[in-house]
Amino acid sequence: MFSNTVKYKLYPTLLNRFDRFEKGYINETELLNSVNRLPVPQTEAQRKGVSFEEAVIKGIDEEEFDPEILSRVRALLPRPMLKTQVYCEYQVEDVLLYGYVDVLGKMVAVDIKTTSNYQPGCYAASHQNFYLPALRGKGIRCLKYVITDFREVYQEEYDHSIDFSAQMRQIKAFCEFLEAHRAEITDQRIFGNI
């Protein structure tokens, strides 16, 4: 059932944190700290990922990375690149999902990922896949993840036929978690009435 009322405003990184919580990789306090947007120092891996993305898209500090890897990643980007860091939002029931996709082409959107251990198909259940229906009105037909572990370059591509059932189950479970911990949530932006 569709409702125009937004009760929750969620973004993929936060839903990924909930996934890590469900799998036991982080505890409840760590998840609540993320919900409350408590600042945490950027890890070296995060810094390297952001820096790599800037090197690929903007040519900034390219010398820090293997030129062959940069070239292979760039070859997978859409031509022309219409925009970078494109805001997306999509409402599912009473949840507004929002975030930014790295690159927008005429018919393809691309998100650049860095990892230390790539597993094929790992983005099939990503909450960033909701960027697809969010960008449908702009003519986007597929979302491509371009991934590097700094040794190889991989890609995963998803179109509008993607099954969102895993993501929907997780969104519902996360909303239940939010309600159960409402008193502990100090950053009320996650609730749609703010």
Q: What is the mean pLDDT of the chain?
A: 94
**What tokens does 70 get?**
């940069």
CB 138 within 8 A of CB 104: yes
Q: Which tens digits make up the pLDDT trace of 11-31? A: 999 999 999 999 999 999 999
Number of neighbours of residue 194 by Cβ within 10 angstroms: 9
The string of pLDDT tens digits covering residues 90-104 is: 999 999 999 999 999
pLDDT at 42: 85
**Upper half-sphere CA count for residue 93 (Cβ side, 13 Å):** 8
Among candidates 120, 143, 149, which has minimal Cα distance to 131? 143
Please report which confidence band the pLDDT of residue 192 belongs to, taking 50, 70 and 90 as the band edges. Answer: confident
Average pLDDT over residues 73-77: 98
| 91: Cβ contacts below 8 Å, ≥ 6 apart | 6, 97
Give CA 98 to chain center in angstroms.
9
Residue 11, amino acid: Y
pLDDT band at 64 (very low <50, low <70, confident <90, very high): very high
The answer to whether 120 and 138 are in contact (CB under 8 A) is no
pLDDT at 194 over 60: no
Q: Exposure string (b/e) for 74-98, b if CB count within 10 Å is 16 or more?
A: bebbbeeeeeeebebebbbbebbbb
Mean pLDDT confidence for 114-128: 95
Domains belonging to the chain, first-starting first, are: 8-190 (3.90.320.10)
Q: Is the pLDDT of residue 3 over 60?
A: no
User: Residue 102: what pLDDT?
Assistant: 96
